[in-house]
Amino acid sequence: MCIRDRRRSSQILRQLCNSAPGLSGHYQELTGSLGVMAQAAFDGKVLLQGDGGLSVATMAGGCFWGPQLMFDRLEGVEFSAVGYTQGRQDAPTYEQICSGNTGHTEAVQVWFDESVIGYSDLLSAFWNQIDPLQVNGQGNDWGTQYRAGVYPHTLTHMGMAQDSFATEQNKWRQPIGTELVAAKVFWPAEQEHQRYLERGGRFGGAQSAAKGCTDPIRCYG
């Protein structure tokens, strides 16, 4: 993480800490921008801006490892994190959400420079990544925790998402299975899940997160 990111994140974190309860579990081990996300979650807040006024987007496309790498390769995406959102339980763990009982879905939150990449561009990349017809799953991963969804953080982005959903639906006879709901609290996942494929994944084969990289993404590494 760059120095600018650490300084700005520390400022946001101090502001949140004035009213937020203390962190627990793996959340207290997260630092920098991940720590900002964790503190916001414990305070029940949905972030409207990231570091330095960056815009925020949250989307779910099945197992969160692949979508994170996809977003990280896009110019204008300055930071991303995998985590859990749209659920009922506070401070969930990976093991808990994998049960399918918490209501969360695996998602990626992206902080992006809207002067470089627009929200509509993120949506286009998202549609190219997923199977929009699959309900409660993506690929070989099934369950509500793998459901695909778009979760806008602002009314402007909600309107853009609605237009994008209408355009995507026109491509198919069947109704698309991707949900569109306003963003709820985002709980950043454990450190070992962050940038998982870039760090080697299950099989030790690191995949490039370089901007503009078009290498096929191997879902599990």
- Mention every residue, 6+ apart, whose C-beta is less than 8 A from residue 213: 73
User: What residues pair up with 142 in beta bridges, in sequence order?
Assistant: 137
Beta strands in 68-165 (DSSP E): 77-85, 105-112, 137-138, 141-142, 149-151
Identify whether the C-beta of residue 47 lies closer than 8 Å to the C-beta of residue 153: yes
Q: At 164, give phi and psi (nearest 5°).
A: -65, -40
Q: In angstroms, rounded to a whole number, what is the distance separating the alpha carbons of residues 174 and 151? A: 22
Identify whether the C-beta of residue 57 lies closer than 8 Å to the C-beta of residue 48: no
Q: In angstroms, rounded to a whole number, what is the distance separating the alpha carbons of residues 128 and 74? A: 13
Residue 63 annotated in active site: yes
Indicate which residue of 63, 98, 213, 219 is catalytic: 63
Give 11's DSSP letter: H
Identify whether the C-beta of residue 184 lies closer than 8 Å to the C-beta of residue 142: no
Residues 156, 158, 161, 167: is their CA dihedral positive or negative? negative
Give 62's DSSP letter: S
Residues designated catalytic? 63
